[in-house]
Amino acid sequence: MTGLLYVVSGPSGAGKSTLIKNALNSLNGFSFSVSYTTRAKREGEIDGKDYFFVSLETFMKMRENNEFLEWAKVHGNYYATSKSFVERSLQECKGVVLDVDVQGALNIKSRYPKATYIFILPPSPKDLEERLKKRGTETEDSIETRLKDAESEISQIDIFDYILVNYEILEATKQLMSVLVTQQLKKENFKERDFNFSFFKKGVMF
Ligand code: 5GP
């Protein structure tokens, strides 16, 4: 395995998917893991790009067939990460980024303790509520569920390695890019992937 695994989590409405999209548009060699969900498609979402939108029956069949790295029921719908996509991307890419809820992050941590865990916070609860309302994609009920769930998600913040507060999208994108790149440059990761150190072995160089 050569690539690094990044797990991005945080309350719904904190801006995770926008930040990930922006960061990956500006970096080479990273891939985003498109999740499976039973949630209804929102206006503007593209099947296969934002999610693979599947029926509950298909989801359960895939779950039985062990096709998921992790799965969770989040805000009343099912979501899951494709096992084969992540395993393949870890062989082929520098980094694979997942956008999952905190249950998903915890599940992945038991399997990939060395992955990088990143939590995105909104500036305040008021701000979170405003963003969810402004997005215009959720019903009143769904907004309420998401705000209630945010509390328990934030209570798990300690399992994460990096915490970003999304005050402003460009600044937060830069911060996320820094985290993705910093992990790549860590001595133990750098050595394996980016450079043939044998060039500099004594007796080889000159
Ligand atoms: P949304 O419905 O707003 O797109 O996503 C709701 C929540 O589901 C978000 O917190 C998102 O991170 C989470 N989510 C998306 N994909 C997955 C997944 O594959 N697994 C898990 N556990 N959570 C996911």
How long is the chain? 206
Q: Is residue 57 part of a domain?
A: yes
**Model pTM score:** 0.94
Q: Is residue 201 part of a domain?
A: no
pLDDT at res. 67: 98
Name the closest-CA residue to atom 22, ligand 1: 104
Q: Is residue 196 part of a domain?
A: no
CATH number at residue 133: 3.40.50.300
**Which residues' Cβ are closer than 6 Å to ligand 1?**
12, 16, 35, 39, 70, 72, 74-75, 79-81, 99-101, 103-104
- Measured in whole angstroms, the distance separating CA 44 from the mean position of its chain's CA atoms is 20
| Cα–Cα distance, 14 to 123 (Å, whole number) | 8
Q: Is residue 74 part of a domain?
A: yes
Q: Is residue 14 part of a domain?
A: yes
- 186's CB contacts (< 8 A; 6+ apart) are none
Name the closest-CA residue to atom 17, ligand 1: 100
Per-residue pLDDT tens for 142-170? 899 999 999 999 999 999 999 999 999 99
Instruction: Provide the domain count of the chain.
Output: 1
- Give the domain extent around 94: 5-186
> Which letter does DSSP use for residue 51 in this model?
B
